């Protein structure tokens, strides 16, 4: 990192060099600096120069603003997110950078604390704040779609509705920002439901799969759905193999098992076919992990 700065510092331009595409070169070098910083943002060395990097990024943003539209590039959005995350999250004195270009596997929706959301709401350019939250929420939904089918679908639809209304000018930038903030809070609350329900993350996914139909929710109640979800996890997990989704016989066997469990606990017969499809789809998401030796 230090060597990168010494070779590529945006301040290291001669008068002659400034006359040759100086603005473009500045923007390019600061972008490279931001990417390099992202790779080691959690290190002590990077933390020590964070303010310097922020200074260069602010200047870059000012230059871009002079010649570009209000819509920010992905690189600019990532840089802004890192700035907010760096301020919002600390543990044992070290900054946790969860949105680095180093390829960390997932963003962490838990960063959307009241403090973090207050900083986003307080950003001068509300359109940028909305774009930051849009990116955060979309990244989180990608993660959830690999663990909880129904939850990801529900929140994806809500996000889509808010963004469509915004892009069609049905709601203002401030309104969509408030909707995205509320959606972030709802998603954070959903992540903690397992603790309240006394269910594991996998059991919550099946609990939600059983609630895909509102009529079934009313008919079954929370307690019975919790029992069904726990038994589905136990029985389906015992039966899946790595290739079960490719073998008709194995899939049919698990389908029968799921339907038998639903019948056992009085799941409405007219809703069972849809419930079985949803449960099987949910099982597909988790079965690769379950089938590991």
Q: Is residue 219 part of a domain?
A: yes
Residue 36 pLDDT grade (very low, low, confident, very high; cuts 50, 70, 90): confident
Tell me: do 185 and 95 sit in the same domain.
Answer: no
Q: What tens digit of pLDDT does each residue of 164-210 get?
A: 999 999 999 899 989 998 998 898 888 888 888 889 988 999 999 98
Last residue of a domain, one of 170, 191, 212: 191
Tell me: do 165 and 221 sit in the same domain.
Answer: no
Q: Considering only residues 85 and 61, tell me which one the structure prediction assigns the higher pLDDT.
A: 61
Q: What is the pLDDT of residue 100?
A: 41
Q: What is the pLDDT of residue 99?
A: 39
Last residue of a domain, one of 100, 119, 144: 100
Tell me: do 96 and 4 sit in the same domain.
Answer: yes
Q: Considering only residues 25 and 209, tell me which one the structure prediction assigns the higher pLDDT.
A: 209
Distances (CA, A) of 193 to 105, 189, 257: 23, 7, 27
Q: Is residue 77 part of a domain?
A: no
Q: Is residue 239 part of a domain?
A: yes
Tell me: do 183 and 110 sit in the same domain.
Answer: yes
Tell me: do 154 and 109 sit in the same domain.
Answer: yes
What is the distance between the alpha carbons of residues 84 and 9, in angstroms, rounded to a whole number? 23
Q: Is residue 81 part of a domain?
A: no
Tell me: do 236 and 178 sit in the same domain.
Answer: no
Tell me: do 95 and 4 sit in the same domain.
Answer: yes
Tell me: do 202 and 285 sit in the same domain.
Answer: yes
Residue 33 C-beta-side C-alpha neighbours within 13 Å? 28
How many domains does the chain contain in total? Answer: 3
Distances (CA, A) of 174 to 76, 130, 138, 180, 195: 21, 8, 19, 10, 33
Segment holding 95, helix H or strand E: strand 94-95
Q: What tens digit of pLDDT does each residue of 253-264 get?
A: 888 999 999 999
Closest to 149 in 3D by CA, of 288, 281, 61: 281
Q: Is residue 80 part of a domain?
A: no
Q: What is the pLDDT of residue 76?
A: 61
The per-residue b/e assignment along 169-182, b for 16 or more CB within 10 angstroms, e otherwise, is eebebeebbebbbe
Q: Is residue 46 part of a domain?
A: yes
Collapse the DSSP code of 192 into the 3-class scheme (helix H, G, I; strand E, B; otherwise coil) and give the result: coil
Tell me: do 3 and 95 sit in the same domain.
Answer: yes
Q: What is the pLDDT of residue 97?
A: 39
pLDDT at 157 over 80: yes
Q: Is residue 56 part of a domain?
A: yes
Tell me: do 96 and 120 sit in the same domain.
Answer: no
Tell me: do 272 and 186 sit in the same domain.
Answer: no
Distances (CA, A) of 102 to 32, 41, 97, 156, 280: 13, 10, 10, 26, 35
Phi first, then psi, for residue 94 (nearest 5°) are -110, 140
What is the distance between the alpha carbons of residues 216 and 135, in angstroms, rounded to a whole number? 34
Q: What is the residue range of 131's domain?
A: 105-191
Q: Is residue 78 part of a domain?
A: no
Segment holding 170, helix H or strand E: none
Last residue of a domain, one of 154, 169, 191: 191
Tell me: do 155 and 135 sit in the same domain.
Answer: yes
């Amino acid at each position: 990192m230090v060597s990168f700065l010494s070779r590529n510092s945006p301040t290291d331009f001669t008068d002659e060099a400034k006359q040759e595409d100086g603005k473009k070169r500045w923007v390019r070098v600061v972008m490279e600096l931001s990417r390099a910083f992202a790779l080691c943002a959690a290190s002590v060395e990077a933390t020590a120069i964070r303010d310097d990097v922020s200074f260069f990024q602010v200047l870059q943003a000012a230059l871009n603003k002079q010649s570009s539209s209000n819509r920010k590039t992905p690189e600019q959005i990532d840089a802004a997110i890192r700035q907010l995350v760096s301020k919002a999250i600390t543990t044992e004195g070290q900054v946790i950078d969860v949105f680095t270009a180093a390829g960390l596997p997932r963003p962490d929706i838990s960063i959307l604390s009241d403090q973090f959301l207050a900083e986003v709401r307080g950003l001068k350019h509300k359109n940028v704040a909305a774009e930051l939250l849009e990116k955060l929420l979309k990244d989180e939904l990608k993660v959830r779609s690999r663990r909880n089918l129904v939850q990801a679908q529900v929140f994806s639809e809500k996000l889509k509705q808010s963004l469509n209304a915004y892009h069609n000018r049905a709601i203002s930038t401030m309104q969509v920002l408030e909707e995205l903030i509320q959606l972030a809070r709802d998603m954070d609350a959903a992540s903690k439901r397992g603790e309240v329900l006394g269910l594991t993350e996998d059991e919550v996914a099946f609990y939600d799969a059983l609630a895909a139909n509102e009529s079934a929710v009313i008919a079954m109640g929370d307690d019975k759905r919790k029992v069904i979800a726990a038994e589905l996890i136990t029985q389906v997990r015992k039966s899946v193999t790595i290739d079960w989704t490719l073998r008709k016989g194995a899939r049919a066997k698990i389908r029968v098992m799921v339907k038998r469990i639903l019948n056992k606990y009085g799941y409405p017969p007219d809703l069972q076919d849809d419930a079985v499809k949803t449960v099987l789809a949910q099982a597909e998401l988790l079965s690769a992990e379950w089938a590991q030796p």
